[in-house]
Chains A and B, each alone.
Chain A
């Protein structure tokens, strides 16, 4: 009953005209950037962070969440029609979605992607509603050592956010921590690494750093390419899948939803991994695995459901424990901090309007997406025809004005440019920016809780092991760290053995 009462309260918040408007704006913008290759939810959320300063925190998070799950819907459109994933989470949809389109079944593919996303998104929100509040109540028992353990667990995610070298991911994490230390120290208020630059006393801003690393660098990577996009010329007859399509898709949708939701909660789990695992699972258990890659509708239904429910799952660790499980959640974390709210158990308790309002808005957003997405597909196809060389000056201008408007200072613009160049070079040298941002966001709290705990224990690290909750977190961090390292050790061993055989 409590959940229903809270949900009803959440709807009264989400249905306020301004929140409804921002939900609509977020979902439409999310779909748009999901459709457009070359700009994703991370870049867009980074760019829009300054714009949220003028909004209420609830409206801001409703809009940013809308962009995130809207992009998951939009991403499938380009995968199916153009064979170019608008979003990384829709890469796998290309395999069968595009094949279906080539056989004149684009409508059914787009339809099942939209319906599957809707069902998964809605069920994911139900899961979020059930699990989040009890977890937050438990987290209210935490003191500094427990928070330190939890934040250490969060920082361990650095190893899971990396798709490449784990050494490079850890290096980026360490650099993120260093970067978070720039400015006045939170306990003694003495300046660190400010080099007599007044603007650095407040530290390096999350917004210019994120905009540079994700927005500017992405543009630089795209403009050096010279390829063009071919849009499949096919007539879309009906977006409603037939009975046979539904029979084949319903279980992949259910499996994708459950898989995606729990992967979203797990450290480093994100919609991209969820969609790939769902595809692998469907292919493995299918009676006709040979059809996969040649236009099997299960290959669209499963992954599209998984990536949507993973977005809902990702909100659980953010809202209840204050731990972002992926990079988009790290930006949401930053957005909450900017609005003076600390993500974690107190958020659910002290800002119930925000927590339940956002959850309820996600229900509304999912309905909006379903209603909007199908009739607007011809419009999204037209949008795809806008050449990137016209789009990129607008993206850059938006980034520039966004970072300038933070403090009406060109210093922030310069910081953004520097991180744009760094982000571009990181991509070239195969260093990923995600671990950097995660460590940068968690850094200040990590430092405060570490130093407070050491002050409490008079310098003894045993305080982290003697307290059961913090001991569990540290133990889990250790296990996660080791399990992340194991595949690398195996790879190194195999390489060594093969080189010995070659010699």
Chain B
């Protein structure tokens, strides 16, 4: 066991307490007639109990092993953050700027941070991928992609 297990155990304990409260609010019912909150309540109780087991067994160990920072040591974690940020921005921007512009920006950005090549190659590749994906999804598969405020 290690520090990250302690953190994870506390996180899941918090989640289980939250679900217990929500389940009680949704009506637990009785054994004769279980209500909508019955299964989530007991599942949360199990989750909470297991979280406590994880926290206790981790805390009982004298020797601490595995720091949190070790999980990302020697890895390109900055790239993960950039990708995550761009991915979370995508659904926010999609209804505003539309599929073509948003996808072009996303793919261009992902190529830029992934491939160390010339900018014009990234731009041209992003443009090609956007157009081809639009043809596949919108024209051939009839997916209704958002056009955004520019109507694109």
B120 within 8 A of A: no
Given A177-B39, A181-B39, A396-B106, 18 additional A-B pairs, CB 8 A: A51-B141, A167-B57, A190-B36, A192-B26, A193-B22, A220-B83, A224-B80, A392-B110, A392-B114, A397-B103, A397-B107, A397-B129, A401-B133, A429-B8, A443-B39, A455-B34, A459-B31, A460-B31
Query: Considering only CB atoms, which chain A residue lies closest to B137 in the complex?
Result: A401
| Assembled-state Cα–Cα distance A41/B35 (Å) | 38
Does residue A394 face the partner (Cβ distance < 8 Å to B)?
Answer: yes
Q: A-B contact count, CB below 8 Å?
A: 164
**Of A190, A193, A430, most B-chain CB atoms within 10 Å:** A193
Contact A394 B80 (CB under 8 A): no
* CB-defined contacts of B12 to chain A, threshold 8 Å: 171, 175
**CB distance A413 to B90 under 8 Å?**
yes
Which 4 pairs from chain A and chain B are nearest by CB? A459-B31, A389-B114, A185-B36, A393-B110
Query: Beta-carbon contacts of A437-455 to B below 8 Å, as 1s and 0s?
Result: 0000001001100110011
Cross-interface CB contact of A216 among B26, B87, B94, cutoff 8 Å = B87
Interface positions of A (Cβ within 8 A of B)? 51, 54, 167-168, 170-171, 174-175, 177-178, 181, 185, 187-188, 190-193, 216, 219-220, 223-226, 387, 389-390, 392-394, 396-397, 400-401, 404-405, 408, 410-411, 413-414, 417, 420-421, 424, 428-431, 443, 446-447, 450-451, 454-455, 458-460
A-contact bits for B34-77, CB 8 A (1 contact / 0 none): 11111110011011001101100100000000000001100111
Given that A220-B80, A220-B83, A224-B75 are known contacts, is A174 also in contact with B34, CB under 8 Å in the complex? no
* Chain B residue contacts of A226, Cβ below 8 A: 75-76
The answer to whether A193 and B38 touch across the interface, beta carbons within 8 angstroms, is no
Chain B residues positioned under 8 Å from A223 (CB to CB): 76, 79-80, 83, 114
Residues of A within 8 A of B8 (CB): 168, 429, 431
Minimum CB–CB distance for B122 against chain A, Å: 10
B31 adjacent to A454 (CB under 8 Å): yes
**How many angstroms between the C-alpha atoms of A170 and B137 in the bound complex?**
39
The answer to whether A190 touches B27, judged by C-beta atoms less than 8 angstroms apart, is yes
Report the minimal beta-carbon distance from A181 to chain B, rounded to whole angstroms: 4
Chain A, interface SS category: helix
**Contacts A410-B91, A417-B87 given; does A178 touch B43 at CB 8 Å:** yes
Does B50 contact A170, Cβ atoms closer than 8 Å?
Answer: yes
Q: Is B118 an interface residue (CB 8 A)?
A: no
Complex-state Cα separation, A216 to B72, whole angstroms: 18
Q: Report if A447-B39 is in contact (Cβ < 8 Å); known contacts: A171-B47, A455-B33.
A: yes
B22 touches A192 (CB 8 A): yes
Asked if A393 and B133 make an inter-chain contact with CB atoms under 8 angstroms apart, the answer reads: no
Q: How many Å from the CB of B138 to the closest CB on chain A?
A: 9
How far is it, in angstroms, between the C-alpha of A167 and the C-alpha of B88 when the chains are bound?
31
Q: Is B124 an interface residue (CB 8 A)?
A: no
For residue B4, CB closer than 8 A to chain A, the reply is yes
The distance in angstroms between the C-alpha atoms of A425 and B28, with both chains bound, is 32
CB distance from B129 to the nearest CB of A (A): 7
Give chain A nearest CB distance to B78 CB in angstroms: 9
Contact of B115 among A167, A389, A396, A429 (CB under 8 A): A389
Which of A181, A220, A401, A428 is B84 in contact with, Cβ under 8 Å? A220
| Distance between A498 CB and nearest chain B CB, rounded to angstroms | 13
How far, in whole Å, are A317 and B36 apart by their CA atoms in the complex? 29
Do the beta carbons of A405 and B19 come within 8 Å of each other? no
B152 at the interface (CB under 8 A from A): no
Q: Can you list 16 A-B contacts with CB-CB less than 8 angstroms, sorted by A residue number?
A: A170-B50, A174-B43, A178-B19, A187-B36, A188-B35, A220-B83, A224-B79, A389-B111, A390-B115, A392-B114, A393-B110, A393-B111, A397-B107, A430-B4, A454-B31, A459-B30
A416 CB to nearest chain B CB (Å): 9
Smallest Cβ-Cβ distance to A195: which chain B residue: B22
Residues of A with C-beta under 8 A to B146: 410
CB contact between A400 and one of B72, B90, B92, B144 (< 8 Å): that residue: B90
Is the CB–CB distance between B143 and A404 below 8 Å?
Answer: yes
Contact status B22-A454, CB under 8 Å: no
